[in-house]
Chains A and B, each alone.
Chain A
Amino acid sequence: MKSMKTFNEKLFKSITYLATLFTILCLGGIIITIFSEGLPILKYSKLNELFGIAWHPTSFPPEFGFLPLIAGSIIITIGALIIAIPFGIGSAIYISEIAGNRTKEIIKPIIELLAGIPSVVYGLFGMAFLSPFLIRIFRIPTGLNALSASIILGIMVIPIISSMSEDALSAVPKNLREASLALGATKWETIIKVVLPSAKNGVVGSITLGFGRAIGETMVVIMVAGGAAQIPSSIFQPVRPMTTAIAAEMGETVNGSPHFHALFAISIILFLITFITNFITEFVFLKRKN
């Protein structure tokens, strides 16, 4: 009986160990694949050509300049964060500090519901409603541009920033607030000068997570960003983010062709960007624990 028990213990241990190992192997496999398929592009194009400004993957000769794609991803992501940060943190402060318990119980799930809407639905909304709306408001030639993609992505990122920041704000000990109020600070001063600074790490973490979500989003930008591979001179111009290029072009490329390797090389860049942001997030969180 006793040996049975230790056997079960060991079995359980090794199963959980295998589960962990499997996850790590998957990550390793993905990294090896994108690097081994992406790096061969250097056989066809020099590094300085890869950071050129023209993306014409199917012309003769093809041009694989990544800069328009990188610029597209970055301008949309920054735009999304400019929209999402004030709304996300604002609603987090309201829910955590100002709203009563009842209101909180109603509002929090509603905001989190926003995170559950499939991105293709956001894309449809952007294409059929937001884009014609922007054309009328700004009198611009096209509504499929960096601005509309930023607005939609911003709305998608709000629940991430809001719910994580709210958790961080709620985790600030009550006695800090009480001490501040007892010293004569107003509620507003307490929130801005005491609660927010103490929850800083969690709030920053939520923003970096939102950044990762925005830069990696594919469906919405395929549908709404316009897809023009150019370095935009204004937010009203269409752009082609990295994810769009990969998703829209991979289906028909010939396996092993320069275009195929170029798309994997873009995924290396995308992977490095998200890897670094996740690393920073982790670092911020670790700092809090210490």
Chain B
Amino acid sequence: MKKSTKIILIGLVVMMMSVSAFARGKKSTITIAGSTTVLPIAQATAEVFMDKNPDINISVRGGGSSVGIASIMSGTVDIGDASRHIKNKELAAARKSGINIVEHIVANDGITIVLNNSNTIDALTLSQLKDIYTGKIQNWKELGGKNMPIVVVSRDVSSGTFEVFNKLVLKNAKGLNSALMLASNNAVVTTISTTPGAIGYVGLGYVTDKIKAVSVDGVKATEKTIQTKEYPISRTLQMYTRGIPTGIVKQYIDFVLSPEGQDIVEQQGFIRIMDDKNK
């Protein structure tokens, strides 16, 4: 009997303490929502930023680029993430209601087309890629290579890499049903390196000497060609704010754009924005 009373008492004390801990220290909060591609960048930079500024709390949600832009227009978030630029229509709607939306490019994103090392092909065009991924071209000999069926390797529909590829190469056409859909960049690398007829795509950082990167429309994917957008399968990722950011939102955006923030961007598999001196 006594024991159980004790347990209840201890429980009550613990509960009261945790309640008071919540009540103490009012944190200022930044809310971020939008593109799931930008999500890992926002999440990782927010974690480091919160470690440095314990009195600031950042809540990061996904939802997609359109949700990010809609939320910044309705004012429900402080920062809206998007993997596409704001549309003219959206910009006009914002202006009409007197909102000034400001764009901050936080990272570059580009994907590399890779083949097995034994493949003789070195260059492809965007339209050839589209034909391969929609099943119009099915054998490497149609492209001047060996007589060998093409094994099309794609990524799961939920991945950001798939999203870029789908938009910039497939132009949202339906991909081949028989394409292998793999769960990670590493899985694609392993599969390409062990499958002679395979073609796949991965983030630039995942290219190793076990697989062969090909040029697209005559441009090889490098950090530089992606930054200058010379390489066709590249895009920028952005964060939108209402007006020029001030206060803690400015602090956070500045942190993302700082060299330290850009190191985090690279760790997440993206490409840093161009330094001012390189411009």
Binding site for B on A (CB under 8 A): 4, 7, 54-60, 68, 127-128, 131-132, 135, 141-144, 222-223, 226-230, 237-238, 240, 248-254
Alpha-carbon separation in the docked complex, A222 to B187 (Å)? 10
Contact A228 B190, beta carbon cutoff 8 Å:
no
Contact of A127 among B157, B158, B181, B191 (CB under 8 A): B191
**Does B63 sit at the interface, judged by CB under 8 A?**
yes
Contact B194 A230, beta carbon cutoff 8 Å:
no
A-B pairs, 8 with minimum CB distance: A227-B181, A252-B158, A132-B194, A230-B177, A248-B156, A226-B180, A58-B157, A142-B151
Contact B194 A135, beta carbon cutoff 8 Å:
yes
Contact A227 B156, beta carbon cutoff 8 Å:
yes
Size bracket, chain B contacts: 20 to 34
**Does B179 sit at the interface, judged by CB under 8 A?**
yes
Contact B177 A252, beta carbon cutoff 8 Å:
no
**Does B236 sit at the interface, judged by CB under 8 A?**
no
A233 (CB) vs chain B CBs: closest residue: B178
**Residue interface bits B142-168, CB-to-A below 8 A is 1, else 0:** 000000111100001111000000100
Contact B157 A237, beta carbon cutoff 8 Å:
no
Question: Nearest Cβ distance between residue A164 and chain B, in whole angstroms?
Answer: 32
Residues of chain A with a CB closer than 8 A to B1's CB: 4, 7
Question: Nearest Cβ distance between residue A153 and chain B, in whole angstroms?
Answer: 17
Contact B158 A253, beta carbon cutoff 8 Å:
yes
Contact A223 B187, beta carbon cutoff 8 Å:
yes
Question: Nearest Cβ distance between residue B159 and chain A, in whole angstroms?
Answer: 7
Residues of chain A with a CB closer than 8 A to B62's CB: 252, 254
**Does B195 sit at the interface, judged by CB under 8 A?**
yes
**When A127-B191, A143-B194, A251-B158 are in contact, do A228 and B183 touch as well, CB less than 8 Å?**
no
**Residue interface bits B167-184, CB-to-A below 8 A is 1, else 0:** 000001011111111110
Contact B177 A228, beta carbon cutoff 8 Å:
yes
**Does B64 sit at the interface, judged by CB under 8 A?**
yes
Q: Can you list 24 residue pairs at the A/B interface with Cβ under 8 Å? A: A56-B174, A56-B175, A68-B177, A128-B194, A131-B194, A135-B194, A135-B196, A141-B151, A141-B195, A142-B197, A143-B194, A144-B191, A223-B183, A223-B187, A227-B156, A227-B180, A228-B177, A228-B178, A229-B177, A230-B178, A237-B178, A248-B181, A249-B157, A252-B36
Question: Nearest Cβ distance between residue B255 and chain A, in whole angstroms?
Answer: 26
